[in-house]
C-alpha cells in the first residue's frame, strides 16, 4: 500500500491549480504526508495569497517564501523545516525558468546571461535544495524532480531549457550516487506536455498537445494527477529499490520513432 503517514514533504513549484506541483501535493496529502509548501514571492504578495488559498485544504504545516536564487531564503527554508519537523523525508522540485526570448528563435542566439539564468533556476536549484535537505534526511529520503523530453531530444523552441533539463537529469544521477549511502533516493519524472501557467506562456503548446494525442500509444496527454500519482510512488516505500532514474509519464510518447 502507498502510505506516507508520518512522512514530511517539502513541495516547491506550486503557482496555481494547473501546476504539476499542485497535482503532486494533492497525492502526497491523500497518502497521509505532512506538507510544507514554498511559493515564489513577488513584490505585491499576489502569489503568496493565491498559493496560500489554494493549498489551505491540504493543511500545510509550513508555508514559506522561496526564490531559489536567494541563498538567504534557501537557508531560512531549511531552518524553518528543522524547527517545525526536525527532519525531512520528501523533497519535490518542480521549478524551471528561462527568459521568454530564449524559448523561441535561434538557440545559437542564447545570451550568456540567459543561459546562466535558465541553468541556475532550473538545474542548480536541485543541487542547492538537495544540499539543504541532506542533513535533515536522517531517516533516509526521496527527492523527486520534473524534467521533459526536450532535455534528451530536440524539441522546437525548448532551446536553452533543453540544456537546463539535460543538466538537471545528470544532477539526478550524481546526487543519487552520492546520497544512496544515506538511503536517500533521487529520481526524475519526465512528464509529457500539459497545459500549465509555464507551458501556456509558450506559443504552440496546443499544437504540441494535439501532436501527442496523434502519436502517443495512449492517444492522449497526461494529467497533473497522473504525474502526482507517479511522484507519490517515487516518494513511497513502493519504489524503495529505484534511484537515479528518469521515469517517463507521457502516455508512451517517447518510445515512438514515427
Residues assigned a catalytic role: 148, 158
Position 37 contacts ligand 0WE (CB under 6 A): no
Binding status of residue 157 toward ligand 0WE by CB under 6 A: yes
Say which residue the cell 531560512 belongs to: 76
Q: Which candidate, 190, 219, 193, places its Cα nearest to that of 207?
A: 193
CB count in 10 Å sphere of residue 45: 11
Task: Give yes or no for residue 199 binding ligand 0WE (CB under 6 A).
Answer: yes
Q: What residues between 168 and 197 interact with ligand 0WE by CB under 6 A?
A: 193
Site membership for ligand 0WE, residue 253 (CB under 6 A): no
- C-alpha cell belonging to residue 242: 529505484
Contact pick of 109, 154, 170, 201 for ligand 0WE (by CB under 6 A): 201
Of residues 58 and 208, the one with the C-beta less far from ligand 0WE = 208
Only one of the segments 54-62, 83-91, 199-207, 248-256 lies at the binding site for ligand 0WE (rule: CB under 6 A); that segment is 199-207
Q: Which region among 3-11, 36-44, 66-74, 96-104 touches ligand 0WE (by CB under 6 A)?
A: 96-104
Residue 95 interacting with ligand 0WE (CB under 6 A) = no
Number of residues that bind ligand 0WE (CB under 6 A): 16
Output 129 or 184, the one with its CB closest to ligand 0WE: 129
Asked if 103 is part of the footprint of ligand 0WE (rule: CB under 6 A), the reply reads yes
- Segment near ligand 0WE (CB under 6 A), from 51-59, 92-100, 128-136, 210-218? 92-100
Q: Minimum CB separation from ligand 0WE for residue 133, in Å?
A: 22
Q: Given the complex with ligand 0WE, which of 32 and 105 has the nearer CB atom?
A: 105
Nearest to 133 by CA among 185, 59, 188, 61: 185
- Enumerate binding residues for ligand 0WE (CB under 6 A): 96-98, 100, 103, 148, 155, 157-158, 161, 193, 198-199, 201-202, 208
Amino acid at each position: 500500500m502507498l502510505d506516507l503517514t508520518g512522512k514530511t514533504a517539502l513541495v516547491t513549484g506550486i503557482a496555481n491549480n494547473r501546476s504539476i506541483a499542485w497535482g503532486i501535493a494533492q497525492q502526497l496529502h491523500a497518502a497521509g504526508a505532512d506538507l510544507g509548501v514554498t511559493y515564489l514571492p513577488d513584490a505585491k504578495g499576489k502569489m503568496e495569497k493565491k498559493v496560500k488559498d489554494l493549498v489551505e485544504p491540504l493543511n500545510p504545516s509550513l508555508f514559506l517564501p522561496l526564490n531559489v536564487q536567494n541563498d538567504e531564503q534557501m537557508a531560512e527554508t531549511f531552518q524553518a523545516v528543522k524547527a517545525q519537523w526536525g527532519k525531512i523525508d520528501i523533497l519535490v522540485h518542480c521549478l524551471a525558468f528561462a527568459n521568454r526570448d530564449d524559448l523561441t528563435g535561434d538557440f545559437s542566439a542564447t545570451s550568456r546571461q540567459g543561459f546562466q539564468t535558465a541553468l541556475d533556476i532550473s538545474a542548480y536549484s536541485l543541487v542547492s535544495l538537495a544540499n539543504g535537505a541532506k542533513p535533515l534526511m536522517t531517516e533516509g529520503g526521496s527527492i523527486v524532480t520534473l524534467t521533459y523530453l526536450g532535455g534528451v531530444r530536440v524539441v522546437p523552441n525548448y532551446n536553452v531549457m533543453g540544456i537546463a533539463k539535460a543538466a538537471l537529469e545528470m544532477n539526478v544521477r550524481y546526487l543519487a550516487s552520492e546520497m544512496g549511502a544515506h538511503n536517500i533516493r533521487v529520481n526524475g519524472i519526465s512528464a509529457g506536455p500539459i497545459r500549465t501557467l509555464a507551458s501556456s506562456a509558450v506559443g504552440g503548446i496546443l499544437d504540441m498537445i494535439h501532436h501527442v494525442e496523434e502519436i502517443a500509444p495512449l492517444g492522449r496527454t497526461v494529467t497533473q494527477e497522473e504525474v502526482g500519482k507517479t511522484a507519490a510512488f517515487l516518494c513511497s516505500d513502493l519504489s524503495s529499490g529505484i534511484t537515479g532514474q528518469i521515469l517517463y509519464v507521457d502516455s508512451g510518447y517517447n518510445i515512438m520513432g514515427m
